[in-house]
Chains A and B, each alone.
Chain A
């Protein structure tokens, strides 16, 4: 079975632009979480969705938004990009309620803001 897939792999944007990142969970998984990993740091939690409902939100500004579709795939949107948004954006999926199951990560999308 395929693992978590993310697209695009790499992305270069300029300050002020908007970006949409995509994630497809492992087949059968219903929960998706998004994390931001700045170089040299561990991943930081952004959002979590389960059964298309937002389950949690990390300490990120309103410029960050996400949604989950009926097929359980997800999009992360970031508006008004800042240089500090440059990071690896990771998506993780789990099969059931994330309270009961482990999260498995995709390869990430490397976003560079110039």
Chain B
């Protein structure tokens, strides 16, 4: 099945550093979502973006919906050990039709060294 291009695949950083990850698609979405998944858990929604160009923050997390509607990025500032996990981007095409599935990237594995 289709998956979005998410990079980097993994990151190993020191506590306190900033993190940036991004997601690109060959097709347009009108909603971008960022989820975090920890071992043995389902993905937890972090940020939802509904408009091209939208910049949204949730605490130390900031995400933007690209102007072309084919990309999005997520930044984490001042990382802490509990930021460890796999971060997934997901695109959704909401239209008048049906099948509002989420299309996911392969994930970015974040490791934070205390």
Contact = CB atoms under 8 A, between A and B. Distances in A.
Interface residues of A, number: 28
Nearest to A46: B101
Interface stretch (A14-22, A70-78, A79-87, A102-110): A102-110
Nearest to A3: B42
A104 B35 CA distance: 10
B44 A102 contact: no
B99 A43 contact: no
Interface string B95-110: 1001111111111000
Interface of B: 1, 3-4, 6, 33, 35, 40-45, 48, 88, 90, 94-95, 98-107
7 contacts: A33-B102, A41-B106, A42-B3, A45-B103, A58-B1, A102-B45, A103-B102
